[in-house]
C-alpha cells in the first residue's frame, strides 16, 4: 500500500512539473501560428479579402473591412500569448477566432468548395478539408487549456503576479 501512495505522489509531482512546461509549448505554438498567419495578411490585405470572399459567407463589401481588422487582432493575440501577457484574454481571442475559422472551413467542405483556407494570405495555406477542421479543433482545445491554466513558465503574467 505504501508503494501505491508513493507512486501517486510521484505522478502528481510529475504532472505539476510537466503541465506548466506543456502549456508553455502550447502557448508558444499558438502564438507562432497566429504571428505567421497575421503578417502576410497585414502586408497584402486585398489578397486576404479575396480569400474571405471565396467562402461566400459575408457580403463582398464586408470582406475588405474584415481583411483590414482581423490580421491586427491575430497579431495582438499572438503577441499577448508570445509574451504571456494577459494570457487568458489572448487565448480567448485566439480560440474565438479559431472557432469562427473552423466553422467557415467546415461550411466550405460541406459546400464542396475547392479553395485555399486563406490562413496565411497569399503565402498559401492548405485546401479546406476535414483535416484542417481537426487541426483547428486541436488548437481550440489548446486555447481552452490556456484559459483554464494561464500561468505558464516564462510569462509576464507570472512575473507581474510575483512582483505584487
For the question of whether the overall pTM of this predicted structure is more than 0.75, the answer is: yes
Instruction: Give the pLDDT of residue 123.
Output: 67
Q: Report domain extents, the chain.
A: 2-162
| Pick from 17, 60, 25, 64: nearest CA to 44 | 64
DSSP secondary structure string, 98-154? HHHHHHHHHHHHHHT---B--TTGGG---B--HHHHHHHHHHHHHHHHHHHS---SS
Q: What is the mean pLDDT of each run of 10 residues along the chain (164 residues)?
A: 52 58 94 95 92 92 94 97 95 98 96 89 81 96 93 82 69
Instruction: Give the pLDDT of residue 155.
Output: 85
Amino acid at each position: 500500500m505504501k508503494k501505491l501512495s508513493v507512486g501517486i505522489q510521484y505522478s502528481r509531482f510529475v504532472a505539476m512539473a510537466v503541465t506548466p512546461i506543456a502549456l508553455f509549448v502550447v502557448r508558444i505554438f499558438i502564438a507562432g501560428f497566429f504571428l505567421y498567419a497575421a503578417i502576410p495578411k497585414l502586408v497584402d490585405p486585398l489578397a486576404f479579402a479575396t480569400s474571405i470572399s471565396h467562402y461566400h459567407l459575408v457580403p463582398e463589401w464586408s470582406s475588405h473591412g474584415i481583411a483590414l481588422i482581423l490580421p491586427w487582432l491575430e497579431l495582438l493575440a499572438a503577441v499577448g500569448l508570445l509574451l504571456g501577457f494577459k494570457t487568458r484574454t489572448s487565448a480567448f481571442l485566439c480560440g474565438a477566432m479559431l472557432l469562427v475559422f473552423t466553422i467557415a472551413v467546415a461550411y466550405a467542405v460541406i459546400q464542396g468548395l475547392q479553395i485555399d483556407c486563406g490562413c496565411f494570405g497569399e503565402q498559401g495555406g492548405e485546401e479546406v478539408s476535414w483535416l484542417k477542421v481537426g487541426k483547428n479543433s486541436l488548437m481550440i482545445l489548446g486555447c481552452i487549456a490556456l484559459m483554464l491554466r494561464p500561468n505558464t513558465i516564462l510569462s509576464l503574467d507570472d512575473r507581474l503576479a510575483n512582483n505584487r
